[in-house]
Amino acid sequence: MTETYCSLGAGVIGASWTSLFLAHGHPVRAYDPADGAEDRLRDYVKTAWPVMTELELTTNGDPDAITFCATAAEAVKGAAFIQESVPERLPIKHAIYAEIEDAMGADAILSSSASGLTLSQMQNGWRDPARMVLGHPFNPPHLVPLVEVMGNEHTAEGAVERTEAIYKALGKVTIRVRKEVAGHVANRLQAALWREAISLVSEGVTTVEDVDKAIWAGPGVRWAAMGPNMIWHLAAGPGGLASYINHFADSFEGWWDDLGDPRLDEATQKALYEGVLAEAGDRDMDDLAAERDALVMGILKATAAARK
């Protein structure tokens, strides 16, 4: 019998997780107190379903297998796995945890989608946080494979491994966060890149649009296949990464010393916002999201075929 999963929070992230769970045949119990949340959740699933079908993810799925619950405690009852994606404010998360702790099944695991909060901060909302882990996805979770998973000394033995197994059964690619840092792993990498992107615009080196173009038409193509360390390992031929570092160490250290340190002050925000609007042109947010999803889907299909 297919296990029931739970989505706490039905915003963009929670709705995307719900879509993925349903596609893999898991009935979903969902909760979100916002007005109209159920309708928005069901609409999101309907929109996501054709994309997931094209990726051959929905063979065993039912897009209508959602039970929308009146309370968080009701939503977690009978759920083997709970993905929590409520707003990233500790009082809200702690209140949800207090409500559901006694209602969760004895073997159920809760995984939080939190990107900015740390696991230890969130654990303070539990009497016993043993069955809580971090499971930070990348948006949208029903398409982007990565999930960052973390437990710590308060996490029950085997909980992280069980969570990784659940995600892998959903087609996700997991990495283990082994030390608590703000932003986890991938967000810190993104933040470092964005900082220099902002600096290049602020210093007049290039435009917002050309920064974006420099990534998607350049290193972003390679990064969809391999990470930076392996890319550099291949870049120097037979000598591998050791040869590459030996050859380019001085260049990289010079670039690092020259990297910018911008701040998101009013003028910088205005320049970025005007730049991205110019880049978007006459495409609205729905158009841009559809374009993103179509491109991501194409990349996923191509890389999956190449890795078979």
Higher local confidence (pLDDT), 18 or 290: 18
Taking only the tens place, the pLDDT of each residue in 200-238 is 999 999 999 999 999 999 999 999 989 999 999 999 889
Please give the average per-residue pLDDT across 41-61, as a whole number: 93
Taking only the tens place, the pLDDT of each residue in 119-138 is 999 999 999 999 999 999 99
Domain residue spans of the chain: 5-176, 186-225+263-307
Fold of 186-225+263-307: N-(1-d-carboxylethyl)-l-norvaline Dehydrogenase; domain 2 (1.10.1040)
| Residue 106, CA distances (Å) to 21, 31, 79, 122 in order | 21, 20, 10, 20
Neighbours of 273 (CB within 10 A): 11
Taking only the tens place, the pLDDT of each residue in 265-301 is 999 999 999 999 999 999 999 999 889 988 988 888 8
Q: How many residues does the chain have?
A: 308
Letter string b/e over residues 26-55, b meaning 16 or more CB atoms within 10 A of that residue's CB: bbbbbbbeeeebbebbbebbeebbebbeeb
pLDDT, residue 63, reads 97
What backbone phi and psi angles, to 5 degrees, belong to 174? -110, 150
Residue 154, pLDDT above cutoff 90: yes
Of 21-30, 47-56, 168-177, 199-208, least confident by mean pLDDT is: 47-56
pLDDT, residue 88, reads 95
Q: Is the Cβ–Cβ distance between 271 and 28 less than 8 Å?
A: no
pLDDT, residue 59, reads 87
Tokens of residue 67, six digits: 């039970």
Average pLDDT score over the chain: 95
pLDDT, residue 304, reads 81
| 260 three-class SS | coil
Single out the residue of 91, 98, 95 nearest to residue 126, CA to CA.
98
pLDDT, residue 264, reads 95
pLDDT, residue 1, reads 62
Its pTM stands at: 0.91
SS (H, E, C) 237-256: HHHHHHHHHHHHHHHHHHHH
Round to the nearest angstrom and report the end-to-end CA distance of the chain. Answer: 29
Residue 22, pLDDT above cutoff 80: yes
Fold of 5-176: Rossmann fold (3.40.50)
Residues 64, 7, 148, CA angle at the centre, nearest 5°?
A: 125
pLDDT, residue 303, reads 84
Rounded Cα–Cα distance for residues 273 and 282 (Å): 15
Pairing of strands 146-150, 173-176: parallel
Single out the residue of 112, 86, 109 nearest to residue 165, CA to CA.
109
HSE at residue 159, side-chain half, CA atoms within 13 A, is: 24
Q: Where are the alpha helices (DSSP H) in 141-238?
A: 159-169, 186-202, 208-216, 219-223, 228-235
Neighbours of 254 (CB within 10 A): 9
What band does 263 get if pLDDT is binned at 50, 70 and 90?
very high
What band does 113 get if pLDDT is binned at 50, 70 and 90?
very high
**What DSSP assignment string belongs to 244-292?**
HHHHHHHHHHHHHHH-------HHHHHHHHHHHHHHHTT--HHHHHHHH
Residue 306, pLDDT above cutoff 90: no
